[in-house]
Structure 1
Amino acid sequence: MLNWIMGRKPSTVWVIKQVDEHLLHVCGRGEATGPGSVRKRRKALAEGRYQGPIRLAHSSAELSADLFAALILPDDLEWQGPQSLRWQGRLWRIAWVPPICWAYRDKLTLAGSLGPDGSLVSTEDISTIQAKIDSRATPASPRLWLGLEGLDNAQAPLEPSTLDAPRRSAANARNS
């Protein structure tokens, strides 16, 4: 009751993590819980300049608004079914973003599998990380075997086959 009197009721929004060409990566419903009146928060949300905290539905965590591409007031979009919506005069497909990706700062991509209801699911795009790892990968160098002699008696490195020969002959001598 006190929140209503003081004008501090949260403003409900749809939280969009990423906007692709024909796809919106949707985190779900959230609340803009920042300071100021509901009217000021709604105005900032409508103008796309809200900078306060966002609490996503079914979560106690508050995340910064700068983690998200768009915060849409419910009146500004129209659901066309469970997997698409109309926003800004365009029809968009949607992919649901799991909570583990809410704070992820890089690009999202579609997961290889569908959600339980057949909906699209977002996941982290690790292709750039994988490319960096692949570019740094070098072929394994051949093993270098050194004898146990002191450094002052240094000799050429031994090949693994020459190391195994004395052991095999000693083992064969014991077994005879």
Structure 2
Amino acid sequence: MAEELEAALPDDVCRLAERILAAAKDRGWQLATAESCTGGLLAALFTDVPGYSHVFDRGVVSYSDGAKCDLLGLASDMVENCGAVSRAVAEAMAAGALERSDAQLAVSITGFAGPGGEDDEEGLVHFALADTTGALTHREEHFGPIGRDGVRIAALRAALDMLREKLDLSA
């Protein structure tokens, strides 16, 4: 079980992360993350689970628009035109993380944890999964104004749930 974040995160989140790492290990897969609003929490969670260091390849925290472009290869005009919190950006983040890693599966998270500006919907988060077969999956969640920590924890659950579904694990 995750040793360091265990005290800060709900037990179900830690247990699910461990199940995902075990399933990826069984398949001989590595995972990568591209995170914005979660600030690397998913990567930290994966690296806190002992015995799976070879399963998690890398995590990119691309909080700013520039980092999304520099680190993940997103076109700056796409970020400007679509917005950093959008389906297109989430999909490009996942694809960029996959392309820049040795992983077989990459997950991305981008959203407004809040509070935001008048045009930002607090709790709106986009997720994407990319794999080496070329499959790309998107998910959009509207968590609402549940606070920054609430949005981040809900986003972790949603990202882990997407990975769980991709790895064909029961709920």
Which structure shows the bigger proportion of residues in strand conformation?
1
Which structure shows the bigger proportion of residues in helix conformation?
2
Q: TM exceeds 0.5?
A: no
Q: Looking at CA atoms only, which structure, 1 or 2, has the larger radius of gyration?
A: 1
TM-score (norm 2): 0.26
TM-score (norm 1): 0.26
